[in-house]
Structure 1
């Protein structure tokens, strides 16, 4: 019932399944991610289909042939009738389906009376689709596509009514497309934000040009309004090219009037995005001269540490709540101050990214209340009565060394609340517009990404990701483009955290998948080794460069990666719930 309500209320939601497959898309018809192609068209010879295929096999081989995108899907067109080969114009949608798909004859009532024509139904489970912005959109909608096949004069069955979009299985999608994060900035900070996109993988020599096209096209639809794009006015003066001395030249125009600081941010966007597809030096030009005065060529090592504002300091060991107290994950001892001494009955807590602040959900006689303040103090009581609140989560500070001015929680399972610090120092609650989640289910967990542009939520036991869109005047905030990730596999999630800015770690009460890692777009799931764990899981925490810590029925366990055996945490305590800053 929950899943039906999701579909009815959120058309963009989707639950992605583990799948694989057989098809690809040509540069001519792929999403606008790659309008810029720097290489001559491929002209490999396309073999004719095997002789004597029955209608079911023709449709099946048509899908399998889609893995070859060359010459405007010539391999797939070979399975069409002569007229169909000329007329077929697949749209820009690439539908990703499971490896296991079927071709069956449609019911007799749907079959043509002419025995030289048959209708074959292509059936499978959809994993998702590649949007026109080259981002992956998860979906669990079933595939049931009627395909009309006709016997030709030469005695061969051929398709006369092909699908409107390219069908590709997940395995072949992974081979035909390359996932690359392109980078933008947090709206109020210098935190670089990855936006996962997909470009045609071959020819490899064209990857840098395709990535530049993606970056200049702006953020994906899901992140529009949630990130800042210094390259918004930029375009290419000419092609992206390599030089004889091994540099990659990116000739920009339209940015000459921008400030030196903004040009440095543009350089960071370009270099960080291109580092995934080239090891060349990046020569950034603006109207023929160096984009940034005094430096024309860049490597990733030339960039400032933009991640510092969104990454916990390595000297902060993390904390845990247990028995109403906040303790150190490093030593196991109660922290200094009232919340470590028992003056406050702590239900849950969150430490700010730089460690300077602490937010606490405190048990009271009538329910709970929120306290916010500097680390080591009991904090200021926030006036927002509630029966329940999710563990708080902090927005990053606007600069290195500064304090955060905002944190979030969910009140009574339905009210997403952000708490801001006013100029007079008071912490003031304000509702977040979460109307796209209305009536879907109780929100039992929420974690802001450490760059502040996304939220990961537990809604009705499922993992949901949405973008955080702020009004230009800062007066209101909305959750936008919510999507279910891996809904058919993760239906009993109890906790979630961000391993990094584009990857989540989840703990569930399921014995089948107690701990899993999921990319933020939902394409893929890595299940952790469950050895030593005692379901159900209760809590989990993660952070860049940190061991994952999970709380199960017996205590705390830690592991560094998928496949590693969980080891007892040195400071394990029954009923402890761990958390890293953020």
Structure 2
């Protein structure tokens, strides 16, 4: 995205932070949480900094002012010397740091001999970075940013060499930026895929235009190549505005020649992407006329539920493996067929999203396992995939309603990511997935393909990693790209993971203080579940849209619906059971 596009996104936040000075000039300012008083109050002008600030306080207030992107960060530029105000060109992203940070003078060896010059370092803990594409990228790299100041002729300290990036605290970022899922589609189906992005929150009236700008710019770098964008050739004919009758007018151009089906997908993209920032009816036009003939305005309730392909059917209660057999989570009874009757020594299993297919990993002798794939309730053939270990299989969604899945994934021996595809003759054959970047993180002990098929969540070296699934045009080759470790400084010893929704993960860990946690797919948000009633170590966990979470600890199965819930015993709990929903 060009710099002028980012400036357009950032223009419009009319807010000011009250700044305050310090009475003394300490050698170090102690870490402290940054208060958020007065954020979002409108102002007509940017006030000059308080007089008499020492260099440490100037740098600290400079960081605080970065919460105000108004007029190309005019509030931050107020702390720069006159020449630096004109020359400062920070990059197009934001570096987000924890609220507690410090400003310290440089060591004597690095200090200037000029008494009118000071070198100050901003020290803090990195949370991540907001890229030029407005997507969050997690990081735990230490922050040590040098800032050079000089005494000005009026006796005030001002910054003469500012950081090359905008520094902003996590709380200020949360207050100043609004999270928006922008929607695209799976490459070979109508499964809709959310792409989490962040836009300047104020003024609220400009949010729809900022979201449309993101949508038309395409998927974030992390999802590039993993999703399809029906709006790829679309642009805005004029500004996004409110019509006199209360509708929100979105005038597109460049899409008139597209098919009706493609236009309906465009409607879903726009309406779903805008639903978090407006309650107005969306009036979608193409070169001045209705994008879809016969319907001018749209509400979210009028858009088809494109999540249906990626959501398990309500009549499928889920399954569990226990004592080498598969049982129903709904009744506790063994399932029909050899997998429930004990004909296989089941280690793990996965049921397809539609419920009609089953993949089973069975023990096949000392240090050897086998993968069986086929119809649910039948005797399933063994796939030619020699391995000592296989992770629990994960099904790709079907490409259309009423069809079956043609692909599932597993990891062999912790280092070979494999997709098993159904050939035209019905046989299931393994194919290697290019996972070079992902394997650099560590040995893989778990993998869950997202139920829309666009991402994988992986446990690598005990850490939680998300990567995008990029397929060649004919799907002959598949590569895992842009792997990102989520909450790298917090989440460790991850035991199991599942997709709670298309943009949210649930994990079980070996942490006594946070045995179960919910994590946004970009890693910015982490919420720990109650540990009440759970008895470590955790064994497994499963989740799905609209379903209670089921966790397995050392005593059996427990369920919860939300973060604040106390875990309740599952109605069919069994010691050693490992639960799984379809997918």
The TM-score by the shorter chain falls in which range? over 0.9
> Partners in 2 of 1:291 and 1:39 — Cα distance?
32
Between 1 and 2, higher relative CO (CA 8 Å, sep ≥ 6) is seen in 1
Relative distance call for 1:39 and 1:291 in structure 2 (3 A) is farther
Per the alignment, residue 32 of structure 1 pairs with 6
Task: Tell me the equivalent position of 1:59.
Answer: 59
Figure out how many residues of one structure are paired with residues of the other and give that number.
Answer: 556
The CA deviation at 1:30 is 8.5
Once the two structures are superposed, residues 450-499 of structure 1 have per-residue CA deviations (whole angstroms, 9 ceiling, x without a partner) of 00000000000000000000011211101000000011111100100000
- Are the equivalent residues in 2 in contact too, given 1:33–1:213 (CA < 8 A)? no
Pair 1:569–1:30, CA change in 2 (3 A): farther
The answer for unaligned runs of 5 or more in structure 1 is 1-26
Deviation at 1:396, TM superposition (A): 0.2
- In structure 1, the residue matched to 2:292 is 292
In structure 1, the partner of 2:406 is: 405
C-alpha separation in 1, matches of 2:262 and 2:558: 44
Q: Deviations over 1:529-550 (max 9, x none)?
A: 0001111111000000000000
Query: How does the TM-score come out when normalised to structure 2?
Result: 0.93
Q: Which moved more, 1:217-226 or 1:433-442?
A: 433-442
The answer (yes or no) to whether the contact 2:13–2:68 under 8 Å persists in 1 is no
Q: Which moved more, 1:82-91 or 1:171-180?
A: 82-91
Partners of 1:33 and 1:133 within 8 A in 2: no
Shift of 1:362: 0.9
Structure 1 residues 154 and 439: alpha-carbon distance in aligned structure 2, compared to 1, 3 A threshold: closer
Shift of 1:47: 2.0
Distance in 2 between residues matched to 1:277 and 1:425, nearest whole Å: 47
* Cα displacement (A) at 1:247: 0.4
For residues 438-459 of structure 1, the C-alpha deviation after alignment (integer angstroms, 9 at most, x for no partner) is 3432100000000000000000
What residue is the counterpart of 2:563 in the other structure? 562
Give the CA RMSD over aligned residues.
Answer: 1.7
CA distance in 2, matches of 1:481, 1:309: 25
Structure 1 equivalent of residue 103 of structure 2: 103
Paired position in structure 1 for 2:380: 379
Tell me the distance in 2 between the aligned counterparts of 1:406 and 1:554. 34
> CA deviation digits over 1:494-532, x for unaligned, max 9?
100000000000001121221000000000200000001
5+ residue gaps, structure 2, are 16-41
Distance change in 2, residues 1:457/1:562 (3 Å): same
Pairing 1:171-320 to 2, within 5 Å after superposition: 171-320=171-320
| 8 A Cα contact 2:13 2:202, kept in partner | no
SS of the equivalent of 2:382 reads: strand
Aligned to 2:152: 152
Residue of structure 1 equivalent to 2:541: 540
Using the size of structure 1 for normalisation, the TM-score is 0.93
Task: Report the CA distance between 1:38 and its aligned residue.
Answer: 8.5
1:94 aligns with 2:94: yes
- Counterpart of 1:449 in structure 2 is 450
The Cα of 1:126 is off from its aligned counterpart by 1.1
Summarize the alignment of residues 330-479 of structure 1 with structure 2, pairs less than 5 Å apart: 330-366=330-366, 367-479=368-480
Cα distance in 2 for residues equivalent to 1:471 and 1:538: 36
Does the CA-based 8 Å contact 1:31-1:130 persist in structure 2?
Answer: no
Distance 1:392 1:65, change over 3 A: same
Distance in structure 2 (CA, Å) of the matches to 1:83 and 1:123 = 26
